[in-house]
Amino acid sequence: MPEMSEKTKKSGFCALIGRPNVGKSTLMNRIIGQKIAITSPKPQTTRMRIQTVFTDERGQAVFVDTPGIHESKNRLGDYMLSVAKKSLKDADLILWLVEPRSRVPEGDRFIAKELAGLKIPLILVINKTDTVKPAELLAVIAAYKDLCDFREVIPLSALKGDNVDTLLDCIFDCLPEGPFYYGEDELTDQTQRSIVAELIREKALYCLDQEVPHGIAVMIDRMEYRERGRGGIYDIDATIVCEKNSHKGIIIGKGGSTLKRIGASARPEMEDMLQEAVNLKLFVKVKENWRDSDFLVANFGYRSED
């Protein structure tokens, strides 16, 4: 591809929206080529707005990963829904991710109503194509095609990487011309502390069952770098906050086994990201019903941008 002049390069913000667990974070990580947003099979894994940056000779696309759009049941849910809605209004392009179903779920009909009236280009991304036969996609496209005015409909597999390049071509076709918002070597607006906290929460989501994962938050109490021999090491102290004393016991596990498993799972990914050794210490604290407290929701980093 010939080099483009600064005047003709494309740039803009691309909001990824959809119901919980449709693969928004997986797609964003795939495009960036690095794990920034955590993923898990459990609903409401993504809680905050996360921006990542993809830059090449065509321009710069800033991807905004948002919480899954769902009915709110507490103050944390209110925050997550407001973040998702605000991301729509601020976007230059919307990528609506859905699963390959021939019948449109009520949650997707709710999203279609939220999109109604927005004068923003919209791409329908049918994710998880690796889970169905190609012939089945025709029924999925037929089910969704009249819900909104789509610029394009792109079937792909974020997990396998199938057809992601086609999506990127379509994204740059839709974005307006404009300046870069980030440096060409920047990948995200997230701090190392934020990514570390989210990695711990991700591993807790995998290690914990039932209702416990929904009621946890992670606070980084200390993150310090020190020289050690030929290399260095990060000393990281983190607290997993839960809502009930009974949950505290589950998180710790018999003889501290579950807490150790969470730490052992998180540490290698931290070391891969930081490119240094990590000395990780985890603690558990109870804050009764923190998800219903405006103060605690904000204190744990879930602050509205409005």
Residues 199 and 170 in one domain: no
- What distance in Å separates the CA atoms of residue 211 and residue 164, rounded to the nearest whole number? 34
Task: Tell me the pLDDT tens digit for each residue of 10-54.
Answer: 999 999 988 888 988 899 989 988 877 656 555 555 556 688 999
Structural domain count, the chain: 2
158 and 26, same structural domain? yes
- Are 160 and 255 members of one domain? no
Q: What is the CATH number of the domain that holds 239?
A: 3.30.300.20
Do 154 and 74 sit in the same domain of this protein? Answer: yes
Domain of residue 98, CATH code: 3.40.50.300
How many whole angstroms from its chain centre is CA 87? 13
**Domain ranges, residue 248:** 192-299
pTM of the model: 0.73
Distances (CA, A) of 146 to 132, 140, 153, 163, 201: 22, 11, 12, 23, 38
The residues of the chain scoring below 50 in pLDDT are 1-6, 306
Residue-wise pLDDT for 160-204, tens only, equals 999 999 999 999 999 999 999 999 888 888 888 888 998 998 898
- The confidence score (pLDDT) of residue 56 equals 94
* Cβ neighbours of 128 (radius 10 Å): 20
For residues 134 and 255, state if they share a domain: no
pLDDT at 36: 74
- State whether residue 297 is helix, strand or coil: helix
Instruction: Return the structure tokens found at 138.
Output: 């025709």
Residue 130 contacts residue 50 (beta carbons within 8 Å):
no
Q: Are residues 103 and 166 in the same domain?
A: yes
Domain contains 184 = no
Q: Are residues 235 and 276 in the same domain?
A: yes
